[in-house]
Structure 1
């Protein structure tokens, strides 16, 4: 899996002022590198940081941010997969503790065609932290 450098643009594609890409360290890196101290502030930020964790192969972060009712025992990464980009289509705050994020993530397996994963994900907030619960493939 690729090693993300603090000086690189964040894989999640979030932009800042003037639509310039945010650097990994100023975007998802702060959540991945400091999960215990710096939780994602909203469901969209958690979803973006989980995409970045898939790009970088951070299974520990993915498991820690998966709600316990749905969390798998482990995560295996396919070493031939290359993540190509993320598009957040919508972020809906349903109430103080529930949210949905619709996104499209693109990936390519070595020797295979590019594939789009279009999902409407559900998130829950517990004790000040957002967790991924599950999602519906669109």
Structure 2
């Protein structure tokens, strides 16, 4: 992924022109700053972490996914399904659930083996030592 390409997470900014329109943020200005500089630039909130984790799945960055997974629930290893094509992310809701906890509801769409898949999850996050971590989530049918 190049720094100038639109970020896979789909985050946009609204232009100030008339008419105003939503423009996709480039990877470098969005999730790239966390994935490529995670030691120096932690995601500032649970939604940004969730978006960057989606982008890490798109880019098959197991190192980032492991580093942002809470140690209490982190798997020993991650495998990526060969041939997975990520199609898009929709963040439906982001809400704090405490001083250092939050939930993010999202729908991620992908295709694998010719089959379309829709993952609808409410994920739980915790902030420890100034860094957000994915803990777990509830998958919606």
TM-score range, shorter-chain basis? over 0.9
Equivalent position to 2:50, from 31, 47, 51: 47
Q: TM-score, normalised by structure 1?
A: 0.95
What are the Cα deviations for residues 90-126 of structure 1, in whole angstroms up to 9, with x where unaligned? 000112200000000001013x221100000000000
**Alignment match, 1:71:** 74
The gaps in structure 2 that reach 5 residues or longer are 16-21
In structure 2, distance between residues paired with 1:57 and 1:20: 25
Say which structure is richer in strand. Answer: 2
1:128 aligns with: 130
Number of matched residues? 134
Question: Residue 90 of structure 1 aligns with which residue?
Answer: 93
Query: Per-residue deviation at 1:54?
Result: 0.1
TM-score when scaled to structure 2? Answer: 0.93
Among 1, 4, 8, the alignment partner of 1:7 is 4
From the two aligned structures, give the one with the greater helix fraction: 1
Of the structure 1 ranges 72-81 and 59-68, higher mean CA displacement relative to structure 2 is found in 72-81
Among candidates 110, 120, 126, match of residue 118 of structure 1? 120
Q: Give runs of ≥4 in structure 1 deviating > 4 Å.
A: none
Structure whose CA Rg is larger: 2
Q: How far, CA to CA, are the matches of 1:12 and 1:65 in structure 2?
A: 16
